[in-house]
Structure 1
Amino acid sequence: MQVVFAIPLKCPQNEEERLRIDLLLELTLESVARQTSRDYMAVVCGHVRPERALARHPNVIWLEVTYTPPTSSQEFRADKHRKRLVIARHVQHLAPLYYMALDADDLIHRKCVEHVLTKSNNAGFYVNEGYALDFRSGFIAPIPGVWNSPFHKICGSSGIVYLEPQDFPQGDGENDTSLFTKTQSHTRLLDNTTKSNRILAPLPFRGAVYVVNNGINISYEIIGEKRMHVVQRITELRIPASTPALHRYTNPELFNEIRKNPVFRNLGT
């Protein structure tokens, strides 16, 4: 049994964005690589190969797509789901497995895989509490807190679902009713898994970090209620010692190195 981390990549619009995506993915893959259990697989799917991140993490599986990339923000979510579907088809022969949709700029707790496989419940787990990280300032604050909702209502990197062979999509149709498809909306994750008689358990620790203000976060950039006052809220609610907390999710030195890269210099808040 293993945990599969499915990581779709946004297609960059220019060279500067390509490098930002590559650097942020490097940080996310570092988060995965720090897991206390090695029983996992990380699969990245995208249009443009992230050379730096994959060079640092050569065991990550890269799946390249060739279809026409989206050109507007309205198409970004459908593109993300399409890439997750490519990953699902690649790993479904390994089922049963635990599947986690992980955004390419978020971070996960280093004991995530260990807990999931040790406490295996043939249903899955979800992140109820986590952190929000302001990429530009380095401040980190709790969720709930920055938002009043639980983490899984705010961030897509929040569900770890047990999938058997029959739970994967059987075709390409928009009306697919597989458990995989039902769990692609993180805001309806618990409702849909409960209706499918899979009762997910909350992780007993702050399971993930939602990284914002980095220039590539799709929902943060296009959904007003997520963006509104979030940087100010993180500043107000920031924990006093961010480095020890961040160490549970990724390499703090690498984080500071990456966020000081010139490609992030001109980002707005």
Structure 2
Amino acid sequence: MLYFIVPLKSRAASHDWERVSRLCRRTLASLYQQTSPQFRIFLVCTDVPTGLASHARLEIVQENFPPPAPNKQAQIADKAAKVRRGLIAVRERGGGFVMGVDADDLVHHDLAALTAAQPQTNGWMIRSGYSYSEGSRWLECHNDFHLRCGSSHIIRLAPEELPDDLAGPAENCFVLRHGHHGIAAYLAGIGRPLGVVPFPGAIYVKMTGENNTGPDLSGIGLRATVSKVLRTRPVTPAIRKAFNLKPL
């Protein structure tokens, strides 16, 4: 079983709750369209997104998390606490494959099929993926996606490797301790190397808003401009379908 953990910021911490809710609903719709039924979603939140309908694969884990202070460190800690709560839910169900998904990112519809076909694998990293600016007709391809985005690792975890309460520091759970920059190297170092998802596995959604006429190349040097042009691809109907990349 593949468990998607989706931590959602609170209404109090959001500048535009309606927009946050729309982004979250689109992310969940991306998860719902998995081609294998062997998955479950834990949406961990203080406030339930507006307009959210029930779904057989969705479980809302609602806790009264205190609103974080308006600084990056506090917001990271708030997100980590919600991921930890999701990991507790996975432990309660006996462990399995776990993937954290930011509440505005999108994933490929074959991830659950990949885990179902190889249940004894350590897991995978998403090395190939896309970044996307909301409203654009263009994507940027990345071959180091797992270093750019947190929605990038699938890890098989036994119950004893998962937290059983919200108390205690992140250091007590290696998934939280290492984060997406270091978790693959850590697992390789203890003899549990991750495989590589054999297709572009996720889209990191950015809100910078590139225009719709082409990739934004302003403000960067010639070498970076050429590199970005080579990585840029149009948003095709096939990509929209595979990731549920639809307008908000």
TM, length-normalised to structure 2: 0.84
In structure 2, how many angstroms separate the alpha carbons of the residues matched to 1:191 and 1:100? 17
Indicate how the Cα distance of structure 1 residues 14 and 234 shifts in structure 2: closer, same or farther if over 3 A, else same.
Answer: farther
* Larger helix proportion of the pair: 1
In structure 2, how many angstroms separate the alpha carbons of the residues matched to 1:115 and 1:187? 23
Determine the structure 2 residue equivalent to 1:101.
100
* Aligned partner letter, 2:24: L
Structure 1 contact 179–196 (Cα < 8 Å) conserved: no
Q: Which runs of 5+ in 2 are unaligned?
A: 210-218
- Shift of residue 194 of structure 1? 1.7
Pick aligned residue for 2:173 from 168, 175, 178: 178
Structure 1 contact 126–203 (Cα < 8 Å) conserved: yes
In structure 2, how many angstroms separate the alpha carbons of the residues matched to 1:46 and 1:55? 15
Structure 1 contact 133–234 (Cα < 8 Å) conserved: no
In structure 2, how many angstroms separate the alpha carbons of the residues matched to 1:41 and 1:141? 29
Q: What do you get for the CA RMSD once the two structures are aligned?
A: 2.5
Which deviates more from structure 2 when the two are superposed, residues 112-121 or residues 12-21? 12-21
In structure 1, how many angstroms separate the alpha carbons of the residues matched to 2:111 and 2:54? 21
In structure 1, how many angstroms separate the alpha carbons of the residues matched to 2:243 and 2:227? 18
Q: Which runs of 5+ in 1 are unaligned?
A: 145-149, 216-227, 259-269
- Shift of residue 249 of structure 1? 0.8
Determine the structure 2 residue equivalent to 1:17.
16
Structure 1 contact 125–200 (Cα < 8 Å) conserved: yes
* Aligned partner letter, 2:130: Y
- Shift of residue 40 of structure 1? 0.5
Q: What secondary structure is seen at the aligned counterpart in 1 of 2:60? A: strand
Pick aligned residue for 1:169 from 163, 166, 177: 163
* Aligned partner letter, 2:193: I
In structure 2, how many angstroms separate the alpha carbons of the residues matched to 1:167 and 1:214? 37
Q: What secondary structure is seen at the aligned counterpart in 2 of 1:22? A: helix
Between the two proteins, what is the percent identity of the paired residues?
Answer: 24
Indicate how the Cα distance of structure 1 residues 40 and 130 shifts in structure 2: closer, same or farther if over 3 A, else same.
Answer: same
* Aligned partner letter, 2:91: Q
- Shift of residue 37 of structure 1? 0.2
Determine the structure 2 residue equivalent to 1:87.
86
